Amino acid sequence: MLLILIGCGQTEKKQDVSGSTEKVELTISAAASLQDALKEIAADFEKKHPNIKITYNYGASGALQQQISQGAPVDLFFSAAEDKYDKLVKDGLIHKKNGTDLVRNELVLIVASHSDVKGFNDLAKIEKFSIGTPESVPAGKYAKETLENLRLWNEVDEKVVYAKDVRQVLTYVETGNVDAGIVYKTDAMTSKKVKVAATADENKHSPIVYPVGVVKKSPHQKEAMLFYDYLQEKEILQIFKEYGFSTVN
């Protein structure tokens, strides 16, 4: 009898804590700047919920928003910009009650480790620098706002090399294709080939807030809400902090 009870206990431990045995794959469209933190979070989540597989679709928030608007099969949207997220809420593609502002980030100017660039004013002295395309990449939008508010944009706009997302900006700086780039603090932390020359004053750009929500047309609402709630747990928010994010609340 004891052996039977032990066997049953082991079986229960292997069962998904949600009580479901159906195999489900969740697709999460997320801003490129989130990928390192989310990789760790997915591994932890899948251990606790073995019937759910997390698949990430990374990119610029604007491009991801357009994909969802056009009917792409996505279960959750994790944006690096409130306006891209709010567009989906306004269009009825995400229920307002099934979303929240989760984390914040900072904007930084990065250069190669040996560079003598010390601040945004030095952009006028270099040949090329990179930002994300402002229309689709939130970090690019914030970068342009910062330079405009510093009254530098008109002086440096012809030197800009536009990138599809912040990770491409980081790569351009790492490989020496540009002299500097403007990315999130969290992206700069992932590379040993670059250094932070300056941090943008948060009053010089729109708030960098990352909202996340469940897509209304997701065929896996129960599992999507499970992951949505999981992202808000205290220990998971701590993981975001370890990767350089700060919490909203």
Q: In this predicted structure, what is the pLDDT of residue 71?
A: 97
pLDDT, mean over the chain: 92
Coil vs helix vs strand at 53: strand
**φ, ψ for residue 214 (rounded to 5)?**
-85, 130
| Rounded-to-integer distance, Cα 159 and Cα 148, Å | 15
At 135, the amino acid letter reads: E
**Strand 129-132's sheet: what is its strand order?**
160-163, 129-132, 180-184, 107-112, 194-199
**Is 170 among the domain residues?**
yes
| Rounded-to-integer distance, Cα 180 and Cα 230, Å | 37
Burial of 223 (0-12, 13-18, 19+ CB in 10 A): buried
Q: What would the pLDDT profile of 65-94 be if each residue is shown by its tens digit?
A: 999 999 999 999 999 999 999 999 999 999
Coil vs helix vs strand at 233: coil
- Specify the residue for token string 């747990």: 233
Q: In this predicted structure, what is the pLDDT of residue 22?
A: 82
| Short-list 205, 89, 85, 187, CA closest to 142 | 205
Pairing relationship of beta strands 180-184 and 107-112 according to DSSP bridges? antiparallel
Domain containing 190 equals 107-204
Helix (H) or strand (E) holding 21: none
Q: What is the CATH number of the domain that holds 74?
A: 3.40.190.10
Q: In this predicted structure, what is the pLDDT of residue 101?
A: 97
Q: Are residues 100 and 112 in the same domain?
A: no
Q: Are residues 217 and 184 in the same domain?
A: no
Tokens of 45: 């989540």
Domains in the chain, number? 2
Q: Are residues 193 and 225 in the same domain?
A: no
Q: Are residues 178 and 229 in the same domain?
A: no
**Is 1 among the domain residues?**
no
Helix (H) or strand (E) holding 174: helix 166-174
**Is 10 among the domain residues?**
no
Percent pLDDT > 90 in the chain is: 90
The radius of gyration of the chain's CA atoms, rounded to the nearest angstrom, is: 21
Q: In this predicted structure, what is the pLDDT of residue 249?
A: 73
Instruction: Pick 43 or 12 by higher pLDDT.
Output: 43
**φ, ψ for residue 4 (rounded to 5)?**
-65, -45
**Is 4 among the domain residues?**
no
**Is 183 among the domain residues?**
yes
Q: What would the pLDDT profile of 130-163 be if each residue is shown by its tens digit?
A: 999 999 999 999 999 999 999 999 999 999 999 9
| Short-list 200, 194, 199, 158, CA closest to 179 | 194
* Residue ranges of E strands in the chain: 24-31, 52-59, 76-78, 94-104, 107-112, 129-132, 160-163, 180-184, 194-199, 209-215, 246-247
Q: In this predicted structure, what is the pLDDT of residue 19?
A: 54
Percent pLDDT > 70 in the chain is: 92
Tokens of 88: 């989906």
CA angle 150, 155, 156 (to 5 degrees): 90
Q: Does position 9 have pLDDT exceeding 90, yes or no?
A: no
